[in-house]
Amino acid sequence: MIKVGVIGATGYTGVELIRILARHPEVEIVGVTSNNYAGAEYSDLYPSLKGYFDLKCEELHTEELIKKSDVIFSALPNGHAHQLANEVVAKHKKLIDLSADFRFDDLSVYEKWYGPVPSLDDRIKRVYGLPEIHRLDLKGANVVGNPGCYPTSVILGLAPALRCGLIKPEGIIIDSKSGVSGAGHSPTLNNLYAECNESIKAYGVARHRHTPEIEQELSYLAGSDIKVTFTPHLVPMTRGILSTIYCDLKDGFTIQSVRETYREFYSKEFFVKVLGDGQYPRTKDTYGSNNCHIGLAYDEHTGKLIIISAIDNLVKGASGQAVQNMNSLFGLPEDTGLDFPAIYP
């Protein structure tokens, strides 16, 4: 059994981790921490887990938790995982971090968007944890930077088009929409019911922190520098991300050949589903699952390839992908504990 510790277990990504890990056949959860709810029984905080997970939340004593765990999941805000990684790696354990702290190859990019990085242990072998793209790199990693939710939807949507040279790399436009849970568990004015119900709004326009993460991975796929226009929107639903991506299709390709390329690219991927002609993703069809649905269309009037992808921001966009990464790190089939369909309706 893989012994797991979860730091920051009472936020939305934390509770989603516990929901998945509690029924994982190869996992024993040995400790969960929460600054706000130390001493509380977890299933009292989240009654949906009564009978599935009943440990008490602990205060964070890093050394003790690392000692009894094989892998630590950190669901803390940005800026907390660097020192934690040093401690985890020093004890020859593994860390899967759900913040942005280990997503960037160039630390100067992280510092520009998030803040300073302390000195890191030379033994850290980090990888950007999108298994469909970096599966081989995961095998030797001891620190995984779990991708952001928006980037997951965008990168999976564009990966075949860029890797296989189907589109022009310039002028990519990304319109993404997310449910309110993407903003986290802590209440803020903008997330109050009266503020976001019956409304939709753009935010982080021309300056969202997921932009450099998206560009890093798309550039890796394309083998050249990629810049994108990315605009996220908040919509009044609990879960889900829908990304609509507009790009210029190169001459010589048809929508049929594009769809065939996508199906071949993802033919061995359990969690990525390429939809048929005239079928387009809905967030409802990925709700509660680790799946990504991708739909394709060609606008003959403008010559644009339109790529639409849908994920659950808390599962494939966060906690489910983190468990998928854990499975890969420990040599398990990636769908272990994750092979369940979406909740419908």
pLDDT at position 117 is: 95
pLDDT at position 73 is: 98
Find the mean pLDDT for residues 151-165. 98
The number of folded domains in the chain is: 2
Q: Tell me the C-alpha distance between 1 and 336, whole Å.
A: 13
Strand, helix or coil for residue 261:
helix
Determine the residue type at 49. L
CATH number at residue 210: 3.30.360.10
Instruction: Decide if 135 is inside a domain.
Output: no
The model carries a pTM of 0.97
What does the angle CA 173 – CA 179 – CA 185 come to, to the nearest 5 degrees?
Answer: 125
E-strand ranges in the chain read 2-7, 27-33, 71-74, 94-97, 126-128, 143-145, 172-178, 201-202, 228-234, 241-248, 272-274, 292-299, 304-311
Neighbours of 25 (CB within 10 A): 8
CA distances from 113 to 58, 60, 163, 207, 336 (A): 32, 27, 27, 9, 35
CA distances from 70 to 20, 81, 92, 163, 275 (A): 17, 17, 9, 35, 38
Q: Tell me the C-alpha distance between 20 and 4, whole Å.
A: 12
Helix, strand, coil: what percent of the chain each, to 5?
35, 20, 45
Per-residue burial over 288-298, b if 16 or more Cβ lie within 10 Å, else e, is bbbbbbbbbbb
Instruction: Decide if 322 is inside a domain.
Output: no
Find the mean pLDDT for residues 1-15. 97
Tell me: the pLDDT tens digits for 186-235? 778 888 889 889 999 999 999 999 999 999 999 999 999 999 999 999 99
CATH number at residue 115: 3.40.50.720
The domain containing residue 65 runs over which residues? 2-124
Instruction: Decide if 133 is inside a domain.
Output: no
Q: Which of 124, 142, 169 is the last residue of a domain?
A: 124
Strand, helix or coil for residue 242:
strand
57 noted as active-site residue: no
Q: Which of 134, 147, 150, 122 is nearest to 329 (CA)?
A: 134
- C-alpha 224 chain-centroid distance: 24
Instruction: Say whether both 49 and 169 belong to one domain.
Output: no
Find the mean pLDDT for residues 298-327. 98
pLDDT at position 191 is: 82
CA distances from 128 to 117, 144, 187 (A): 17, 6, 29
Q: Tell me the C-alpha distance between 334 and 311, whole Å.
A: 17
Q: Tell me the C-alpha distance between 168 and 81, whole Å.
A: 37
Instruction: Decide if 138 is inside a domain.
Output: no
Instruction: Decide if 109 is inside a domain.
Output: yes
Run of H or E residues at 220 = helix 211-222
- C-alpha 23 chain-centroid distance: 20
Instruction: Decide if 172 is inside a domain.
Output: yes
Cα-flanking dihedrals φ and ψ of residue 262, to 5°?
-60, -45
pLDDT at position 187 is: 76
Find the mean pLDDT for residues 157-173. 98
Strand, helix or coil for residue 335:
coil
**More confident position, 183 or 218:** 218
Instruction: Say whether both 236 and 93 belong to one domain.
Output: no
Residues 6+ apart with CB under 8 A from 193: none
Instruction: Say whether both 165 and 116 belong to one domain.
Output: no
Catalytic residue among 149, 196, 247, 292: 149
**DSSP result, 43-63:** HHH-GGGTTT--PBPB---HH
Instruction: Say whether both 94 and 176 belong to one domain.
Output: no
Work out the percent of the chain whose per-residue pLDDT is above 70: 100
Find the mean pLDDT for residues 302-329. 98
Instruction: Say whether both 113 and 168 belong to one domain.
Output: no
Tell me: the pLDDT tens digits for 248-296? 999 999 999 999 999 999 999 999 999 999 999 999 999 999 999 999 9
What does the angle CA 230 – CA 272 – CA 270 come to, to the nearest 5 degrees?
Answer: 150
**More confident position, 185 or 131:** 131
pLDDT at position 188 is: 83
Q: Tell me the C-alpha distance between 177 and 241, whole Å.
A: 5
Q: Tell me the C-alpha distance between 187 and 109, whole Å.
A: 29
